[in-house]
């Protein structure tokens, strides 16, 4: 399925803002993204397996924090950033 990539991670995807990835959960999608774009996952998920504070993942428009959430081919998955301040 296609995954939306935020600008802050586009340096890992060669500038692509939508990339194809495979997996039956968000965790599996991120693992596949990291295989394709090494280093991407650790910038958004820490060593405890938690999404970093200013990173959001939306599945069909709904924010998720649990990376074990199941996904299907037709789902829309977006990775977004959320930060304000100087």
Partner 1 sequence: MVTNTAGDRDLTLWIGTKKGAFRLSAGRGRNGFELDGPEFLGHIIHHVVADPRDDRQLLAAAKTGHLGPTVFRSEDGGRNWLEASQPPAFAAPKDGRKADAVDVVYWLTPGHASEAGVWYAGTSPEGLFRSEDGGANWAPVAGWNDHPSWIEWTGDGERANPGGSPLHSILVDPRDAQHLYFATSSGGVFESLDAGANWSLLNDGMMADFLPDPHPEYGYDPHCVIQHPAAPDVLYQQNHCGIYRMHRPEGRWERIGRNMPAEVGDIGFAIVSHPRDPDVAWVFPMDGTDVWPRTPPGHRPAVYRTLDAGGSWQRLDRGLPERAWYTVYRQAMANDDGDPVGVYFGTTCGEVWASFDEGEHWQCLAAHLPDIYSVEVAEARP
Interface ranges with partner 1 (CB under 8 A)? 6, 8-9, 38-39, 42-48, 50, 52, 54-55, 81-83, 85
Spatial separation of the C-alpha atoms in residues 5 and 20, rounded to whole Å: 10
* CB of 47 or CB of 73, closer to partner 1: 47
* CB of 19 or CB of 41, closer to partner 1: 41
Q: Tell me how many degrees the CA angle 86-40-52 measures, rounded to the nearest 5.
A: 50
- What is the smallest separation between the CB atom of 10 and partner 1, expressed in angstroms? 12
């Amino acid at each position: 399925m296609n995954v939306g990539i935020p600008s802050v991670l586009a340096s890992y995807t060669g500038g692509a803002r939508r990339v194809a990835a495979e997996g039956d959960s968000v965790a599996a999608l991120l693992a596949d993204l990291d295989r394709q774009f090494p280093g991407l996952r650790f910038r958004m998920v820490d060593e405890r397996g938690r999404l970093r504070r200013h990173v959001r993942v939306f599945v069909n428009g709904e924010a998720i924090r649990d990376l074990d959430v199941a996904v299907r081919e037709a789902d829309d998955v977006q990775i977004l950033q959320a930060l304000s301040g100087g």
